[in-house]
Structure 1
Amino acid sequence: MKKALIVTMLAAVTMVGSITQAFAAEKSKAPTVEKKQILTRAARTAGHVKITGDGVRLRAKPGLNGTVLALLDKGTLVEYNNEGAYVDGQEWLYVKYGSLEGYVSKNYVSFKY
């Protein structure tokens, strides 16, 4: 009787462990799917973006302390290829403007023009 009880308990523990592992594996896949969706959405924004403010600073490095390379006027189109950084509480897009390459704050660009 004790052997039957022990075998039954071991079987139950094994089943619970298998279910827990399967659930954990399934749960760990969710962030990967989310990342793919984000990348797909970002990939559609490559091309050109329009500057939405006057005197927007094109900086050598992302962040408020990056050296200013140029001041961009409202309506200027710059080339954007999905690169960027998050610095000083802002997202900075890596762009090309003529022969210059640098960063502009995402707060001053539009992907629709």
Structure 2
Amino acid sequence: MIYSKSTLSRPLCRARRVCRALCANYLRHAIVFKMSIFLFYDCHSCIAVIIVIVVVVLAVVAVIIVIVFVAIAIILVTVVIIVVAISIIAVVGVVVVVVVLVVVLVVGVVVAVVVGA
């Protein structure tokens, strides 16, 4: 199918106008590209800028999510370390109490044997 130049140019012009309007609406709030919207003469560069902005925003969000997860992991590791330390202190305390009781019992038996003899 053969298209004439005039048949091709009309839809392309309309498409370019629509694309430029979309880009202008999208980039209106972006401070960096506020004035540079007039530099976009074709649809592809405008769409490329929009894609770059979206990718950068997604990358920033991903970095924030990773930082939050790392912070949560650090907090969890700290809690585990504290719980393990408390457990070790409790075990050591029980062992000390048992040793003291055994020593008191042995000393008591020895004293009873010596006094009774």
- State if a TM-score over 0.5 links the two structures: no
Q: Which has the higher helix share?
A: 2
Q: Which has the higher contact order (CA 8 A, sep 6+)?
A: 1
What TM-score do the two structures reach when normalised by structure 2?
0.39
What TM-score do the two structures reach when normalised by structure 1?
0.41
